[in-house]
Structure 1
Amino acid sequence: MRIVIIEDEIKAAKSLAGLIAKIRPEATVETMLHSIESAVAYLNTNPPPDLLFMDVQLSDGLCFEIFRQVKITSPVIFCTAYGEYSMDAIKSNGVDYILKPFSASELEAAFTKMDNFRNFFQQREQSDWLELIRRLDKPESKTSFLIFHNNRYMTVRTEQIAFIYIKYDAPYIVTFQQQKYIISQTLEQLQAQLSPRQFYRLNRQYLINFDAIKEVEHYSGRKLAIHLAVPAEEQLTVGKDKMTQFLQWMENR
Structure 2
Amino acid sequence: MKIVIIEDEIKTARSLAQLITTLRPEAEVVATIQSVERAVSYLTESPQPDLIFMDIQLSDGLCFEIFESVKVVPPVIFCTAYDHYAIEAFKANGIDYLLKPFKREHIEGALDKLSQLKSYFSTEKPLVPELEMLLKRLGEPEGKKSFLVFKQNKYITIKTETIAFFYIHNETTWLRTFDNQDYTITQPLEEVQGVVSSSQFYRLNRQYLVNFDAVKEVEHYFSRKLFIKLTIPTPEKLLIGKEKVSQFLGWLENR
What is the TM-score with the length of structure 1 in the denominator? 0.49
Could you say which structure has the greater relative contact order, defined with CA pairs below 8 angstroms and 6 or more residues apart? 1
What is the TM-score with the length of structure 2 in the denominator? 0.49
